Amino acid sequence: MKYLVTGATGFIGSEVVRQLLLAEHHVHAIVRNPSKARGLEEKGVQIFKGDVTDKESMRTAMQGVDGVFHIAGWYKVGSYDKSGGKRINVQGTRNVLELMKELNIAKGVYTSTVAVNSDTHGQLVDESYHFTGEHISEYDRTKAAAHEIALQKIAEGLPLVIVSPGLVYGPGDTSSVRISMLDYLQGRLPLLPRKTALCWAHVEDIARGHLLAMEKGKVGETYFLTGEPYGLYDAYHLAQEITGIHAPLPVPPQLPKVLSVLARPFDRFLPESYTSEGLRIIAGVTYIGDNAKARRELGFDPRPLRVGWAETLKHEMAILGKKARKA
């Protein structure tokens, strides 16, 4: 089969591409800067210069493909510049899905997120849950808007499947998850709030879920590609068991809530994790969703956090060890 992947150089997208190639599929990738995708080209991916914010720039790449994986997205929780949320998550999704419909693409998989449900207040929700309140971050808000566009296009006849990952971790991550992990490994993560919980899934399993959604997913359905629900503090207590490095001290969730208010006037000058939005999003919130439907209908089977977390921590420790030896 021949598939187009948006976001092919990103964390999830690059792993989806790797697995597609292993399955001997042909892959088209849209990239803004082809020089940064030479590694993909060397592996046999056909590279097209384009951008999801420019609909016509994607037309040639999408013509003649059997399916589209729309994975590209803006993920900048705590960023002072939030313009990318509307441009990439909302307008970019509209562009990709409209072009799919114009070109009569047989099937598509759109990458949403359980963050469209915002804080579930400890409830493990399923795909029938619909959040109607105010979102915590611009990422949540714009991905929720994009999710609604996807549902609208499905109602108009677009053959689309929606997948919603939770927290994604693993080697190659460039998000705040890896930054926190590196801070922990180097003794720079002193405190973490209790009650904050997420569904942790390894990037290889998330990518595999995308391929399963293309192969087995029912058009019009949403599937939570979520891993094991695990408290943020508990994950780092588990990291202590794995690495022997002391876990951060637990603090009440009220503390980062208070700090988020104090930080607001200084957001422009603070690292993303310490802005008012960054602090608010870890202040006892739960982004958790039940993967039972994906297990039942797709055969999705993510590894336990204890297994994947150990793999990832050891990978990062090896990198840090190499850097230390070179220094």
Instruction: Round to whole Å and give the CA distance between 191 and 56.
Output: 47
pLDDT tens figures, 58-96: 999 999 999 999 999 998 765 657 788 999 999 999 999
What is the model's pLDDT at position 270?
64
pLDDT tens figures, 100-137: 999 999 999 999 999 999 999 999 999 999 998 999 88
Helix axes 305-326, 232-243, angle to 10 degrees: 60
276 or 308, which is more confident?
Answer: 308
List all residues 6 or more positions away from 147 whose beta carbon is below 8 Å from its beta carbon. Answer: 112, 116, 162
Q: How does residue 318 score in pLDDT terms, banded at 50, 70 and 90?
A: very high
In order of 43, 73, 100, 154, the CA distances from 107 in angstroms are: 25, 20, 9, 11
Closest CA to 225 of 149, 147, 111: 111
Whether the pLDDT of residue 278 is over 80: the answer is no
CATH H-level superfamily of 2-172+201-226+289-303: NAD(P)-binding Rossmann-like Domain (3.40.50.720)
pLDDT tens figures, 200-245: 999 999 999 999 999 999 999 999 999 999 999 999 999 999 999 9
pTM of the shown model: 0.94
pLDDT tens figures, 75-85: 876 565 778 89
- Residue corresponding to tokens 């499905």: 154
| Cβ–Cβ < 8 Å for 69, 214 | yes
Please, which residues bridge with residue 16 across strands? none
